[in-house]
């Protein structure tokens, strides 16, 4: 499977975007940032890796989770930076996409975070690969459509929804898209709503939106819930209008030993200034604590013996509080060369993210180098 690297510009320096191929050849974009145990996000259907990075709706999610984990995200087929020229949006195709991203990342064991309408993909993966999933987080998700088949009223609502998509998805005027924005984040500011309006149009085409939605609303993995063996945390807003809270209750009541945490919010995407976001982060931080302990043990087992003399020298200077400019001047090197040596050292030590420099220095000092 081919993997291509896309260098991030200055504004995206904290996330690294790469590309890989799914089983059917579709190109997928994925990104990683942060430091800690790996969490692979099976993101909601509406995403754009670069646009989300600057988002007043999502940025707190990326910053706060990236502060405690190595967060891996990807744009699913037909969306964002991934291939738009696709026709298969089935569960099996989307599951193959997740498997391709995981293979490209190269992490043997990790946590999964299934979000919104892509929670069935995370659930299916966790049921098929229990040996690889350390724990499972479901956020604003569902297993499928419970209860009796849709009635005529439901059919009329879906027909109206599709008509609005056809009429307004690609138009510059966000009039029709604002309907969906109000469903997802009714408590948002005008700036946040405007960003969500724009995300819809730039994340995918009208045709892909309709085709993916058709597959999504017909997917039901409820029968897999009793097979989930990973510790599971279910988080869901009580007032969610995009995916009602009853779906969270179904998940938690059918997955063995799952924990349900209601979030006091009307927003499908909990926003940064809501008390519910503090609850979300506290719960996820506590839930991920065992994986962080395992990660620390693994870090301790990775010696600094593989570092070159120059890499050690640069890390020693960094341990004395020297910045890259100062290190470059003292060693008569370019700043770019110093940065390259540091990147190589981080790679050898198996660390990444904003705290990589601190972690590398701590490792060097701990081993008495």
Residue with tokens 């995403």: 47
Q: What is the DSSP string of 31-46?
A: EEEESSSEEEEE--SS
Which residues contact residue 309 at a Cβ distance below 8 angstroms, ignoring those fewer than 6 apart?
none
Contact of 91 with 61, CB cutoff 8 Å: no
Q: What pLDDT, on the 0 to 100 scale, is given for residue 24?
A: 96
Q: What pLDDT, on the 0 to 100 scale, is given for residue 162?
A: 83
Task: Give pLDDT < 70 ranges for the chain.
Answer: 1-13, 146-155, 295-305, 352-355, 365-369
Q: What pLDDT, on the 0 to 100 scale, is given for residue 295?
A: 60
What 3-state class would DSSP assign to 364? helix
Contact of 168 with 176, CB cutoff 8 Å: yes
What 3-state class would DSSP assign to 325? helix
CA dist 3 and 63 (Å) reads 26
**Domains of the chain listed by start with CATH number:** 3-147+220-296 (3.40.50.1820), 303-366 (1.10.10.10)
Q: What pLDDT, on the 0 to 100 scale, is given for residue 336?
A: 85
CA dist 184 and 172 (Å) reads 20
- 36: Cα separation from own chain's centroid: 14
Q: What is the DSSP string of 156-208?
A: HHHHHHHHHHHHHTT-SS-TTHHHHHHHH-TT--HHHHHHHHHHHHHH--HHH
The tokens for 180 are 């969906």
What is the pTM for the complete model shown? 0.77
Question: What angle in degrees, to the nearest 10, is found between the helix axes of 356-366 and 335-349?
Answer: 70
């Amino acid at each position: 499977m081919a993997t291509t690297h896309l260098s991030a510009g200055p504004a995206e320096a904290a996330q690294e975007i790469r590309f890989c191929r799914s089983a059917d050849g579709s190109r997928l974009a994925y990104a990683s940032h942060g430091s800690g145990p790996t969490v692979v996000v099976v993101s909601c259907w509406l995403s754009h890796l670069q646009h989300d990075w600057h988002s007043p709706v999502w940025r707190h999610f990326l910053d706060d989770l990236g502060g405690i984990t190595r967060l891996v995200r990807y744009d699913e087929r037909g969306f964002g930076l991934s291939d738009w020229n696709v026709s298969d949006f089935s569960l099996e195709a989307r599951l193959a996409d997740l498997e391709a991203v995981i293979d490209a990342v190269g992490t043997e064991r990790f946590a999964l975070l299934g979000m919104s309408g892509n929670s069935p993909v995370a659930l299916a993966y966790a049921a098929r690969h229990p040996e690889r999933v350390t724990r499972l987080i479901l956020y604003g998700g569902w297993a499928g459509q419970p209860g009796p088949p849709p009635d005529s009223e439901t059919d009329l609502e879906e027909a109206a929804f599709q008509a609005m998509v056809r009429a307004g998805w690609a138009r510059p005027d966000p009039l029709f898209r604002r309907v969906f924005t109000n469903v997802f984040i009714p408590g948002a500011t005008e700036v946040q709503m405007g960003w969500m309006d724009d995300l819809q149009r730039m994340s995918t085409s009208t045709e892909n939106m309709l085709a993916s939605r058709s597959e999504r609303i017909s997917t039901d993995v409820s029968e897999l819930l009793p097979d989930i063996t990973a510790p599971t945390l279910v988080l869901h807003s009580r007032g969610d209008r995009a995916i009602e809270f009853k779906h969270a209750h179904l998940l938690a009541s059918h997955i063995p030993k799952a924990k349900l945490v209601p979030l006091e919010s009307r927003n499908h995407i909990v926003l940064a200034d809501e008390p519910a976001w503090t609850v979300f982060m506290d719960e996820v931080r506590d839930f991920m604590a065992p994986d962080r302990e395992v990660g620390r043990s693994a870090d301790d087992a990775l010696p600094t013996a593989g570092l070159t003399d120059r890499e050690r020298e640069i890390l020693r200077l960094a341990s004395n509080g020297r910045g890259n400019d100062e290190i470059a001047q003292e060693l008569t090197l370019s700043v770019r060369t110093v940065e390259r040596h540091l990147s190589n050292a981080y790679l050898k030590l198996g660390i990444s993210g904003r705290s990589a420099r601190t972690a590398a220095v701590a490792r060097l000092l701990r081993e008495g180098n």
